[in-house]
Structures are given as C-alpha cells and as structure tokens.
Amino acid sequence: MAFESAHVRTGMERAWILDDVSVPCSSQVVRMPLVEVTLIQGRTAEDLRALISGLTDAVVTSIGAPKESVRVIVREIPATHWAAGDVTIAERSATR
C-alpha cells in the first residue's frame, strides 16, 4: 500500500492527509484518498458535518479524486486526554 502524507497543524489540532491508499478491486486498483483529523471534543454535529464536506470537496478539487472515493475520519479527543508540556487542554483552559 503506497501513500504520501502531509501533516497539517492548526493550533493544537492536527490533520493527516493520506493520499493514494490503494485497494485492489477485481482487476483494477481503486484509489481512496484518506483524510484523518484529530480535534478536541466539543463541536456540534453540524460543525463536524461541515468539516467533513469541506475536506471532501478540498480533496476532490485539489487532486481530482472522485468524491465517492474520498474517506474522512474525524477523531474527537476529550480535553483531559490531550496534553502538551505535561498540561492538558482542560487544565490550560481552566487557567484562562
């Protein structure tokens, strides 16, 4: 399985864009771009849906992938389970 990855960081959150996850399908190879996003919990279902749609559209536009082949995985992490410098996001937010 071949892929290229690009790590995108926005503030404390990250997204991995994995391109060319290839899966054999009968006699041809189907390319399925995979975008993985890790976020702190707390967004609405509508916000997450908009994110998925926006990421899908960006992949279709930027690399010409068929929309039905684009995969998006969103992981939500509790603020108590994400730390930097031995301080969780929850602890950091409480001190503001």
The answer to whether the CB of 39 falls within 8 A of the CB of 76 is: yes
Q: How far apart are CA 30 and CA 78, in angstroms?
A: 35
- Torsions phi, psi for 45 (to 5 deg): -60, -35
Q: Is 78 a catalytic residue?
A: no
Q: What are the catalytic residues? A: 33
